A = this chain, B = another copy of it.
């Protein structure tokens, strides 16, 4: 049976991926040396196109790493001597915080309940803070923070670096990179690629911080410290042998996104999100987990199911519609539905037909 993956990542692949894989084989991308001029062309083109797609200013550098989790480590290593500050409201913001602890830093944390967002201006940020970390889209709970609030956060703390996790909201979220120092996402979510690559966008100020720490004798990591990454990125390369195929595929999918138009892609996501949230609000068996609509993610929709989610998840799976279960303690209570560019409107509507059918059965 043909399956459609609404899991929040790895997720449904972008519809053109099979074609691009075939082309990659034909063009020997799988054997391509990461030191060859052909690779450099692919690297530069992918970076340039990504810059255009996401409107990333020329001042910012673009690095390829292997996962969002790796990015958290590199960001802490390269931008924090002692103190980072973490807005924690779920599994991934907590992971960012714990990364800092594991790396022997002394992070601060402002924590709210799972499912809540933040009013940044009501939170006092310790003066010693070097780096503020926010998870713009918390994949574990489906909370999204407003990009305007993030701009204000930076404006109110211009002396501090700001890291923004958009792992599961890119390329939907339209970040203003002038007010962010470290922005990152992984490709197996909104870009519909197979897993194994992450992208980190870095401001000149963050690079300066890394240099400062190196000069001070702080351990900023080895091959993937920012200075090494920058040295290689400047010549269209990575320090290590990277996931060449994923970089190639990313470049191809970005081209496809140009054809569709990023505005249309974003509008389509909003339309699908509205349909999904409206449905779950209006149906008795389901309830959106995020109470305040201003915090509801457009790309990861989290739903509570009365009497538990396991049963309907199984039913949907039997129909070939694979949704995510709740995160950790919500495993059997919630459903997580990814709403990425790869998810067609028709597939979302069909998914809701199955949800409705299940509800009718329950109500009998």
Contacts and interface: CB of A to CB of B under 8 A. Distances in A.
A70 to B, nearest CB: 7
Contact of A70 (B99, B188, B240, B245): B240
Interface string A1-28: 0010101011111000110010001001
Interface in A32-78: 32-34, 66-70, 72-73, 76
A73 B222 contact: yes
The 9 closest A-B pairs by CB, nearest first: A196-B243, A69-B240, A66-B66, A102-B222, A67-B240, A5-B31, A30-B194, A99-B222, A194-B245
Q: Residue among A34, A66, A72, A186 with the most chain B CB within 10 A?
A: A66
B25 A7 contact: no
Contacts of A186: 241
Contacts of A31: 3, 5, 7, 10-13, 322
21 contacts: A3-B28, A5-B28, A10-B30, A10-B32, A13-B30, A13-B31, A17-B30, A66-B67, A66-B196, A69-B239, A72-B222, A72-B223, A73-B221, A102-B219, A102-B221, A104-B217, A195-B241, A195-B243, A195-B244, A196-B243, A243-B243
A66 B73 contact: no
A28 B11 CA distance: 10
Chain A contact residues: helix, strand, loop or mixed: loop
Contact of A221 (B34, B103, B223, B245): B103
Q: Residue among A7, A33, A239 with the most chain B CB within 10 A?
A: A33
A186 B240 CA distance: 11
A308 interface: no
Contacts of A28: 3, 5
A25 B21 contact: yes
B10 A67 contact: no
Interface in A231-262: 239-246
Given A5-B28, A25-B18, A31-B5, A69 B223 contact: yes
A241 B188 CA distance: 9
Contacts of A66: 66-67, 70, 196, 240, 243
Nearest to A322: B31
B10 A34 contact: yes
Given A10-B34, A241-B9, A243-B66, A103 B219 contact: yes
A8 B280 CA distance: 55
Contacts of A12: 31
A225 interface: yes
A222 B103 contact: yes
A68 B240 contact: yes
A219 B105 CA distance: 10
A102 B225 contact: yes
A190 to B, nearest CB: 14
Interface string A335-363: 00000000000000000000000000000
